[in-house]
Amino acid sequence: MINNPILWADYPDPDVIRVNDTYYMITTTMHFMPGGVILRSYDLINWEIASYVYEALEDTPAQKLEGEKQIYGKGMWAASLRHHKGKFYVCFVANDTQKTYLFIADNIDGPWIKSEIDGFYHDCSLLFDDDDRIYIVYGNTEIHLTELEEDLSRPKAGGINRIIVSETQEYILGYEGAHFYKINGRYYVFFIHILKSGHQRRTQACFVADSLEGEFVGGEVFDDDMGYYNSGIAQGGIVESPEGKWYGILFQDHGAVGRIPVIVPMHFENDFPVFDKKAPQYIEIPSTRPEYKYKQLVGNDDFVYEADVNGNVSLKNIWQWNHIPSSDLWSVTEKTGTYRIHSGKISQNINYAVNTLTQRAMGPACEAIVTLNGEELKDGDYAGLCFLISSYGLIALTKEGDKYYLVMLARATDDKSIFGNLVNNEPGTEYARITISKPMVTIKAFGYFIDNQDKCEFYYEDAGTWKKLGITHNMVWKMDQFVGCRFGLFLFSTKEIGGAAEFSEFKYNILK
| Core vs surface per residue 421-460: b (16+ CB within 10 A) or e | ebeeeebbeebeeeebeebebbbbbbbbbeebebbbbbbb
Which pLDDT does position 1 carry in this prediction?
84
What single DSSP character describes residue 451? G
Q: What percent of the chain has pLDDT over 90?
A: 94
pLDDT over 70 at 489, yes or no = yes
pLDDT over 70 at 414, yes or no = no
Mean pLDDT of 443-453: 97
Which pLDDT does position 441 carry in this prediction?
98
What single DSSP character describes residue 379? T
Spell out the residues 6+ positions from residue 356 whose beta carbon is closer than 8 angstroms to its own: 321, 322, 350, 386, 388, 488, 489, 490
Q: 10 Å Cβ neighbour count for 406? A: 24
Q: 10 Å Cβ neighbour count for 185? A: 9
pLDDT over 80 at 422, yes or no = no
pLDDT over 60 at 415, yes or no = no
Residue ranges and CATH numbers for the domains of the chain are 15-275 (2.115.10.20), 320-511 (2.60.120.200)
Look at strands 76-84 and 87-94 and give their pairing: antiparallel
Give backbone dihedrals phi and psi of 327, rounded to 5 degrees, phi first: -65, -25
241 φ/ψ sector (left φ>0, alpha ψ -120 to 50, else beta) = beta
Per-residue pLDDT band at 311 (split at 50, 70, 90): confident
3-state secondary structure of 102: strand
Helices (H) and strands (E) in the chain, counts: 0, 36
Of the candidate ranges 273-282, 286-295, 408-417, the one whose mean pLDDT is the lowest: 408-417
pLDDT over 80 at 177, yes or no = yes
Per-residue pLDDT band at 445 (split at 50, 70, 90): very high
Which pLDDT does position 394 carry in this prediction?
98
| 289 vs 298: CA distance, rounded Å | 22
Which pLDDT does position 460 carry in this prediction?
98
Give catalytic residue positions. Answer: 13, 176
Which pLDDT does position 428 carry in this prediction?
85
User: In whole numbers, what is the pLDDT of the chain averaged over residues?
Assistant: 96
Helical segments of 50-167, H only: none
Which pLDDT does position 69 carry in this prediction?
94
Per-residue pLDDT band at 153 (split at 50, 70, 90): very high
Which pLDDT does position 51 carry in this prediction?
98
Which pLDDT does position 343 carry in this prediction?
97
What single DSSP character describes residue 304? -
Q: What percent of the chain has pLDDT over 70?
A: 97
Q: Which of 432, 409, 431 is nearest to 490 (CA)?
A: 409
| 152 vs 350: CA distance, rounded Å | 40
Mean pLDDT of 193-215: 96
